[in-house]
Amino acid sequence: MNLEFNKNEDTMRQLISQMEQRLQQIYLGGGKARIEKQHEQGKMSARERIDFLLDKDSARFEMGAFAGYEMYPEHGGCTGGGVVIMIGYVSGKQCIVVANDATVKAGAWFPITGKKNLRAQEIAMENKLPIIYLVDSAGVYLPLQDEIFPDKEHFGRIFRNNAVMSSMGILQIAAVMGSCVAGGAYLPIMSDEAMIVDKTGSIFLAGSYLVKAAVGENIDNETLGGATTHCEISGVTDYKCKDDQDCLSRIRNIMSKIGDYDKAGFNRITPVAPVKDQKEIYGIIPDTRDKQYDAHEIIERLVDGGSHEEYKELYGQSIICTYARIDGWAVGIVANQRKIVKGKKPGGSTEMQFGGVIYSDSADKAARFIMNCNQKKIPLVFIQDATGFMVGSRSEQGGIIKDGAKLVNAMANSVVPKFTIIIGNSYGAANYAMCGKAYDPRLIVGWPTACIAVMGGSQAAKVLVQIEISTLKAKGEEITPKKEEELFNKIKDRYDRQASPYYAASRLWIDAIIDPLETRKVLSIGIEMANHAPIEKKYNVGILQT
């Protein structure tokens, strides 16, 4: 291994260590003291409930752990968005589990909580995946009610989705293991199976204090909406459970008896590990964003046996399109190339192409490849590290906008499931063309090296500084070189912070930040998940078919 490799590896390991340290804090939710208080009440924490529920030693993927990260400082923060969401296996059946974390603001719903819950339901609906709700929430966080209560993608959308999933035949199980109040009280009755834990679970539209204020009735919460009330009198819940463990065991028993599902039929054979050492990815990804590397080296460390069949290998080389297998699943990979390559252009001339930029020929190639994968019913994996589409007079006259539109059209209309891994730059229109969040990837994750923005920090700062200087000069202010440098650094620092993978993950622009060594597992879980949902639409790219 050379010095550059070792330097890259050290940088990547530091980034992963930083990520893991932050995750360890997130895993504590509202902190050790509040977890202990849960235990004193006879309750398990959200993560303990999930660990008990999921099959031991089975693969799992946590979605949105960084949701809310460094957000809402004026409200004391909202660790993990106040909810833990895991895709895993219960009694051998793949499902998604949504568990309120009552150690974070009593499980109250912040705006990011709503967004995270809706993402979980979106995953369940897209993939026809059973969903299990472990309810323990104080309801809407009142100081921010205007940002979580009334709009289309707010709290009420949860119950609309409950109804839609019911009509789709998607199994929903609700376990009330703590508070379930106000609008949230509709969740259990809109699920297929509902259970409640005796003495700790409660369901009511209004608690005892509000009942006293509204109608003058004196009543305690347990009598108002406890397990005895709802299992013996109202009939709202189906099962009365003596404690958390009993409740979770009942869910496992129910899941063990459900029938199989219709499958999409994606091709899978016995998995084979990559031939090349996956850990070498750490040394291949450069320590700075302006350096080159060969994306083939990354692909060969992700795919089964290291083997793949590259489509139009010598044409449009700034995007790699290739057929491969990941954990046995057949996939079509679309990856940005980051090294300098020689490419033949029309007319026979040869020029150097800088990787990471999408050229017309590459866009055309990728569009055709995506169409082929849809024809063959092969899931698509997008590996993003791109700075944008090529600009300049030659590109514009060559129709870069049309070829870019062709790629976006082919990708957006894809009926096979799409998965996106952001391993480096994800700038501007390249984010869109390579299946960014706006284009419905079934899962989208980033490595710690991901950077998501309209453009790089330095480029953006140069543009914005010139605008700022023009504005200040128009006001008669004198701009010294020192003042210009200060403006540049201030803007660049803000832009770089907003381009961080943590900024993206906190707002759920990506579902998770992962160690590169987790990539194969996440993709395999995702494709198995997508295999629950047969493809019902016909692939049609509209007016840009040719």
Token pair listed for 335:
């990856």
**pLDDT at position 392:** 67
The arithmetic mean of pLDDT across residues 59-85, rounded, is 97
- The phi, psi pair for 366, rounded to 5°, reads -65, -40
**pLDDT at position 341:** 65
Q: Which CA distances in Å does 143 have to 76, 147, 149, 228?
A: 12, 9, 11, 33
pLDDT tops 70 at residue 102: yes
pLDDT tops 90 at residue 491: no
In angstroms, the CA 416 to CA 334 distance is: 14
The single-letter code of the amino acid at 50 is: I
pLDDT tops 90 at residue 27: yes
The single-letter code of the amino acid at 348 is: G
Q: What's the pTM value of the predicted model, to 2 decimals? A: 0.93
**pLDDT at position 396:** 67
pLDDT band at 168 (very low <50, low <70, confident <90, very high): very high
**pLDDT at position 535:** 95
**pLDDT at position 1:** 64
pLDDT tops 70 at residue 398: no
Q: Which residues contact 483 (CB under 8 A, 6 or more apart)?
A: none
The single-letter code of the amino acid at 382 is: F
pLDDT tops 60 at residue 346: no
Tell whether the torsion through CA atoms of 101, 103, 106 and 108 is positive or negative: negative
371's enclosing H/E stretch is helix 360-376
pLDDT band at 12 (very low <50, low <70, confident <90, very high): very high
**pLDDT at position 339:** 82
The larger pLDDT score, comparing residue 465 to residue 64, is at: 64
pLDDT band at 247 (very low <50, low <70, confident <90, very high): very high
Beta bridge partners of residue 420, listed in sequence order: 382, 444
pLDDT band at 32 (very low <50, low <70, confident <90, very high): very high
DSSP 267: -
pLDDT tops 70 at residue 350: no
pLDDT tops 60 at residue 545: no
- The phi, psi pair for 423, rounded to 5°, reads -105, -10
The arithmetic mean of pLDDT across residues 103-126, rounded, is 96
Buried residues in 130-143 as b, exposed as e (16+ CB within 10 A): bbbbbbbbbbbbee
Residue 95 CB-half CA count within 13 A: 27
The arithmetic mean of pLDDT across residues 262-291, rounded, is 94
306 touches 299 (CB < 8 A): no
pLDDT band at 542 (very low <50, low <70, confident <90, very high): low
pLDDT tops 60 at residue 356: yes
**pLDDT at position 190:** 92
Q: What are the residue ranges of helices labelled H in 500-530?
A: 501-506, 519-530
The arithmetic mean of pLDDT across residues 62-86, rounded, is 97
**pLDDT at position 379:** 98
**pLDDT at position 345:** 54
pLDDT in tens, 399-452: 688 888 899 999 999 999 999 999 999 998 899 999 999 999 999 999 999 999
457-474 vs 481-499: helix crossing angle, rounded to 10: 140
The single-letter code of the amino acid at 435 is: C
Which burial class, exposed, middle or buried, applies to 508 when counting CB atoms under 10 A from its CB (0-12, 13-18, 19+)? buried
The larger pLDDT score, comparing residue 418 to residue 188, is at: 418
159 touches 180 (CB < 8 A): no
In angstroms, the CA 412 to CA 434 distance is: 10
In angstroms, the CA 258 to CA 377 distance is: 27
In angstroms, the CA 53 to CA 26 distance is: 20
In angstroms, the CA 336 to CA 354 distance is: 11
**pLDDT at position 5:** 95
**pLDDT at position 249:** 98
The arithmetic mean of pLDDT across residues 72-83, rounded, is 97
pLDDT tops 60 at residue 220: yes
Q: Which residues contact 457 (CB under 8 A, 6 or more apart)?
A: 492, 493, 495, 496, 499
Token pair listed for 373:
């994968």
